[in-house]
Amino acid sequence: MKTSLIAVLLMAMLASGVASAGQIDQLAWNQSNIATLRNLDKAIVERFVNEMSMDDVHKTVGEFTWEDLAGNGRYELIVTLDVSGRAFFDYLAVYERDDSGKISVQWFPEETAIGSLSSVIRDLNDNGKKELIIPTLFPSGAYGAGSVSAVWPAVYKLKDGNYVEASNEFGSFYDADVLPGLLKDLADARAKADAHKLISDTLEKDKIFRVLGLDQTAGLDEARDWAQSNNPNLANAGAAILREINGNAGKASREKELPKVVVLRKSSTG
């Protein structure tokens, strides 16, 4: 009854344009309130994100959506965020509210290139739980304006209520959705002698091959050549690949950098 009353009041406030971010965490994030939550505008969600922030950096919301990620009837708020003031919405955060009103957030790696949220959230194995496909810059130090750049789609799955990187468990996704187009792009880049595209696509292909265990030394020869290049960006790319092959063959590069869950508030104030 109390939750229903709050929902009715919030809908009335939305209609009058005076709803505040504080109402978001007073509602249970479940099916009975999902229509109300989805009617919240970006300004209200942004105020909520900043009121829950544990630092003084203002966060601007790019996209947001409410999804039942675990298929358990409880919804999470997924947002893309910019913290630079330059409208680079490369941060991804997942906010959760439990039945006691505790709010927590899971932040994802900074070296990302998030696009549309609709392409990030998918149920890859049809088990009712949503995976997150996060475009991830690789390798570290091998990107920059006008230089070598590469992005590969890392897959995160739910485990014990939190997301962990598990790309090597989703070979069928890469086989069906990623590699065919990537191999075609590589062939096109060779035909057009597009050096930057060729390097970028090669980095992505070799990374996926290593992650899936198809070839744990994929890219080794290129990396040795690149590491000796006079181009510092190409040299950085080669060095990063060599470090990964030497120290983490067969493993996803993000395993040691799993996103952390931060409790923002222990219990409801309502």
Shared-domain flag, residues 95 and 145: no
Same domain assignment for residues 105 and 179: no
pLDDT tens digits for range 163-216: 999 999 999 999 999 999 999 999 999 999 988 888 889 889 999 999 999 998
Q: Which residues constitute the domain of residue 1?
A: 1-109+256-270
Residues 92 and 10 in one domain: yes
For residues 120 and 239, membership in a common domain is answered with yes
> Are residues 209 and 264 both part of a single domain?
no
Q: Are residues 186 and 264 in the same domain?
A: no
> Is there a single domain that holds both residue 225 and residue 201?
yes
Asked if residue 80 and residue 11 are part of one domain, the reply reads yes
Together in a domain, 247 and 176: yes
**pTM to 2 decimal places:** 0.83
Question: How much is the pLDDT for 2?
Answer: 52
Instruction: Summarize the confidence of residues 241-256 as an average pLDDT.
Output: 63
Gyration radius (Cα) of the chain, Å: 21
Is 124 in contact with 170 (CB distance < 8 Å)?
yes
Residue 237: its pLDDT value, please? 78
Q: How confident is the model at residue 10 (pLDDT cuts 50, 70, 90)?
A: low
Question: Is the domain of 92 the same as that of 123?
Answer: no
43 and 146 part of one domain? no
The residues near 174 (Cβ < 8 Å, ≥ 6 apart) are 153, 167, 208, 212
Domain count, the chain: 2
pLDDT in tens, 76-92: 999 999 888 888 888 89
Residues 6+ apart with CB under 8 A from 105: 52, 93, 94, 95, 96, 261, 262, 264
- Shared domain for 12 and 102, answered yes or no, is yes
DSSP notation for 228-258 = T-SSHHHHHHHHHHHHHHHHHTTS-TTGGGP
